[in-house]
Structure 1
């Protein structure tokens, strides 16, 4: 994958297009603050980075969409466009991605978000050949597994102005948190030290190890169960009898026990839920006592009702007698009536044939005074008898009420005792149901183990375990860590040879010694007679830039020759900055000092030679102040931004 064009869209539809030649050295030369460094950030943004790193200023103020057009190795093209982040925001995840054989940058009206940046990186990575891969962290590490994508590949293709001259960082964004570890995890895959199907094999190995552990545990349980299964089956049979799932049956061996227990899993209880006969007798006794007390209570209530009825009747008769008595009391005004003795009454001078008031003769003579006196005496005696019986009635009714209250208390006591027994009965029944369910569960578990203890089943498990063990061993041999280290070391040695050769061509310090890429520390190390010297211990910015250039050219030469899934692009920003100390040098593009001029020419000659060697499979884009007079250099210059010419057209800035 190589870059064909960068296209910037103004909000009014105007575009700023920069075309680049694939398979060649492309140079963008110009003065400072012309927008050269922004090209690298635009390319990275269009490769899926969420954060837009274009500096605040004319570019961010005038560009509405950033886009890139890519030439794919299969002959097709890919167009990637990203909208500018919203005002006040630094990132966005939206993007537009299209593939086509003759695809070109569309007008602004056709741009629309159709993909998310994560999916963009995945699809672009698949198109350049990044297969499914996964870098597993060491056992016990807190890091998550990492899958390489085109975003990780871009870290090997870009070198910003600050990075290319750094003594401490060798790769793009290496100093950011997590990026250094991502580089260590993904570079072995991009170098080919990790097999293309290693991720699949690692997943298969994880599954195979889990299966091996499962079968090993299952066989161990089956073998242990075979030693004790008969004892467990007999104990379980006795438990099933106790809870009523099995009746009293004769068994002849394990097969009979298994058959009976299999039936017990769905059998209904064969014994009463309440087996406590003493509790049953107590309940019957309470019921009989309660019924007897209820019968006595009914009798007491009947007697009380009878007494009350009698009292009501006597009260009516007494009232009648008192009325008659009161009527006869007027006789006390008759002469001699006060003497109530019979002799006095008989001798009273009363004429029974005449009216005692008016003296007229009576047609029917009234009762004699003596007779009335006798009747009055009898009425008084009867009233006294009835009046004297009332206290006895009231005491009898009170006694019956007291007895009725006592009987009701006895009935409540019997009812409470029966309710308590009923609750106990229900709880006992529920406990028995739970016990039966628990026993059924134990029967299921035990019968499962009994099936595993069959010798035929044990042999099947042993064979499955052997096959699983062989699968694990085969996958582990394919994923041998020692072999992976050897593969990586071999590739790093090949890259190191080219680094040494290019360093010598650039006449860098220690270039005569062995130079290697130290992946653990992500730096270049020269093995001097006095010991290894990492990049930060090699002095001068010229050496740092030179080793950066030599390392990345050597790395990409290896990636191209091995056809690894990395964009065939190396983009450098200001690689000659160490040789342009004066602003006048930046303006002219030619160092004043002859030594600097020779060093700059040597660097670009190395770029030219490597690109020509790998053509048409490798492309370089260099943004720099350098503007050498050599014809091959001038041929490689695509854009010259001097005398007011910049990335953003002046009319965009003025109108903005």
Structure 2
């Protein structure tokens, strides 16, 4: 994408056209206040910026529509924006037209608003290769961001104030949110993230949601499987209390489910079901209460036995540690030698000095006996451990069974209390209410069988494997390594260009610090950031080195960034007098040499990348060198300006 023309329309339909050559260095030289700097703001506005930054004066007083003509890889694009309404500085309206032969601009009456700035940027961005993408900052609480044409343009424009700044390296960097957008999108434009990363990140988000759903379903099913037997028993007692089923033996869950299914679908009796006698209901309630009390007592006894066994085990552990400590002390003395009774006939010796003695010392034998006793006790404790574990397992099983029975009894008591409180329901209504509860609970039984649980576990494992595979493909460490590699290549060109411009502190290496969005030179004294380097000439030089290095990388790697760079007044530091501004030739040899190096570097980079890069420079410089003269597209001196004089009259 390169600029062919900037086109202005006044209210009478007159057209001012400023043409440029693609793939070349285009210099617009001229005196001050001729409109050179306005070219950048017009391009920025035409490419979708909501507010127009053209200075108030002749341009805003006369121009009704701002337009640009662009050369794309396939065909051209004509973009026009109406001037904001009187009293306003922004507009969302735009006109966009694509074609193969758009060299001749349309007349004023043919200009129509057919889109808005958001759509304009999306369509142009797709034409230059900006694909669907999502950058994930990961830190700082920033939301994911999609790189668009708006972010790419931040790398293509340098106004007069920006190019000479020691603190802002990129276009609009000082505005709110722009710095974070640059940090998040430059890796995409450098190609440090895969082209299909946006699709994979979307797949990862979907896979994580699927995993959460599968895990939630599995948890619900496992919880239901743990409590369904208790609920079914309680439901059976409730059905029995309202007369839906008769008391009978229930050997397993399947039998219980069949009984409840029969109670749910059985036709109502021809004659009203006799009301449950209050005395019988009271007897049933008392029996259930006694059963619950007995179960509570049994559960308390089991838990007490379990606590006693745990205390005993803890005490044995302390005792065992003491025995092991004492045994270790005895064994570590090294004084336990074989005594006379062990079958050895050698003369007794002193355990301390090793010399022969008349009588054997009884101490070693006593120590040996103590050690043997301690080791025997340790073996007895070790043998007792398996039986303790078995006893704990048995007690845990008894406690679980008692809890289930107690929960069933308490649920039945609750059902009886509820039935007694609902005094205004007929027996038929009570049975219908219980049938509804049976239907609701039986609908959950299928989700608790082993086959369904296994299916849910398999689904959860499959979803987890999908998430793991996508996360492995979206490796943040790999992305950082890819970004570092590309920044190193850009830094090599920055170092070369800084050396050609003879900038201060360029004797080491020069690099782009993406975290701080500044230039850093690595010297023997340590790293030096741009704001610590003096003079506007150095600031401008490092700006040029950075942007030329980035665009060289974008062009050579065919990255989706517009192939133009607009620079406003890159030699402003070398025109100290009005005389030199008017002539375009600096008075001092040092200034003239710096200006010559600047434009020669711009010329050489464009020639190297031709026709892949277009550079447009608005400046006072007007050097006599042939290559410079060949690059001058417009010379706005002697009354020639962006706005024709007849428009003002």
TM-score with structure 2 length normalisation? 0.74
Q: Distance in 2 between matches of 1:525 and 1:80?
A: 38
1:9-30 deviation per Cα after TM superposition (whole angstroms, max 9, x unaligned): 1111111011111100001011
What SS does structure 1 have at the residue aligned with 2:510? strand
- Closer/same/farther in 2, CA of residues 217 and 26 from structure 1, 3 Å limit: same
Matched, 1:582 2:581: no
C-alpha distance in 1, partners of 2:264/2:528?
Answer: 77
Q: Does 1:457 align with 2:452?
A: yes
Q: Distance in 2 between matches of 1:503 and 1:599?
A: 12
Tell me if structure 1 keeps the 8 A contact 2:30–2:637. Answer: yes
SS at match of 1:36: coil
Q: Structure 1 432/475 Cα, relative in aligned 2: closer, same or farther at 3 Å? A: farther
Distance 1:11 1:265, change over 3 A: farther
The equivalent of 1:510 in structure 2 is 505
Residues 58 and 247 of structure 1, relative CA distance in 2, 3 Å threshold: farther
1:428 counterpart = 2:428: no
Q: Is the 8 A contact 1:589 1:627 kept in 2?
A: yes
The DSSP-based 3-state class of the residue aligned with 1:429 is coil
**Residue in structure 2 matched with residue 606 of structure 1 by the alignment:** 601
Match of 1:561 in 2: 556
Q: Residues of 2 paired with 1:249 and 1:154: CA distance? A: 82
More moved, 248-257 vs 79-88: 248-257
The alpha-carbon deviation at position 165 of structure 1 amounts to 0.3
In structure 1, the residue matched to 2:22 is 22
Higher Cα Rg, which structure: 1
2:629 aligned to 634, 637, 652, which one?
634
Distance verdict in 2 for CA 1:274–1:31, change over 3 Å: farther
Matched, 1:58 2:58: yes
Provide Cα deviations, 1:347-387, integer angstroms capped at 9, x if missing partner: xxxxxxxxxxxxxxxxxxxxxxxxxxxxxxxxxxxxxxxxx
Mapped contact 1:274–1:425 kept (Cα < 8 A): no
2:464 corresponds, among 444, 469, 474, to 469
Contact 2:242 2:276 (8 Å CA) reproduced: no
Q: Would you say how many aligned residue pairs link Structure 1 and Structure 2?
A: 506
Q: Secondary structure at the match of 2:424?
A: helix
- The alignment status of 1:34 with 2:29, answered yes or no, reads no
Instruction: Return the alpha-carbon distance in structure 2 between the equivalents of residues 274 and 582 of structure 1.
Output: 116
1:402-433 per-residue CA deviation (whole Å, 9 max, x = no partner) reads: xxxxxxxxxxxxxxxxxxxxxx9998239996
- Residues in 2 aligned to 1:268 and 1:184: alpha-carbon distance in whole angstroms: 73
Question: 2:462 & 2:257 partners in 1: Cα distance?
Answer: 31
- Equivalent residue, structure 2, for 1:253: 252
How far has the Cα of 1:146 moved from its partner? Answer: 1.3
Number of the residue aligned with 1:495: 490
Using the TM superposition, give the Cα deviation of residue 606 of structure 1 relative to its aligned residue in structure 2, in angstroms.
0.5
Residues 589, 628 of structure 1: 8 Å contact kept: yes
Structure 1: distance between partners of 2:150 and 2:548: 19
Q: 1:434 to 1:98 in 2, by over 3 A?
A: farther
Q: Contact 1:589–1:625 at 8 Å: present in 2 too?
A: yes
Equivalent residue in structure 2 for 1:440, among 431, 436, 441: 436
Tell me the equivalent position of 1:46: 46
- Listed as ranges, the gaps of 5+ residues in structure 2 are 279-419
Give, in whole Å, the separation in 2 of the partners of 1:534 and 1:111. Answer: 48
- Could you tell me whether the CA contact under 8 Å between 1:273 and 1:428 is conserved in 2? no
CA contact (8 A) 1:52 1:91 kept: yes
- Per-residue CA deviation, residues 133-188 of structure 1 (Å, 9 max, x unaligned), is 1122426x543321111011000000000000000000000000000001111111
Task: Give RMSD over aligned pairs.
Answer: 2.6
- 1:38–1:227 Cα change, 3 Å: same
Q: Retained in 1: the 8 A contact 2:69–2:78?
A: yes
Counterpart residue number, 2:189: 190
Distance 1:442 1:127, change over 3 A: farther
**2:614 aligned with 1:615, yes or no?**
no
Contact in 1 for aligned 2:8/2:67 (Cα 8 Å): yes
What's the offset of the Cα at 1:455?
A: 1.7
Contact 2:31 2:582 in 1 (8 A): yes
Q: Of 510, 527, 530, which aligns to 2:525?
A: 530
Would the aligned equivalents of 1:8 and 1:65 in 2 still touch at CA under 8 Å? yes
Inter-CA distance 450–581: structure 2 relative to 1 (3 Å threshold): same
Where structure 1 has 5 or more consecutive residues not aligned to the other structure, the ranges are 279-423
Aligned to 2:79: 80
Contact 2:238 2:434 survives alignment (8 Å): no
1:132-147 equivalence runs, <5 A:
132-138=132-138, 141-147=140-146
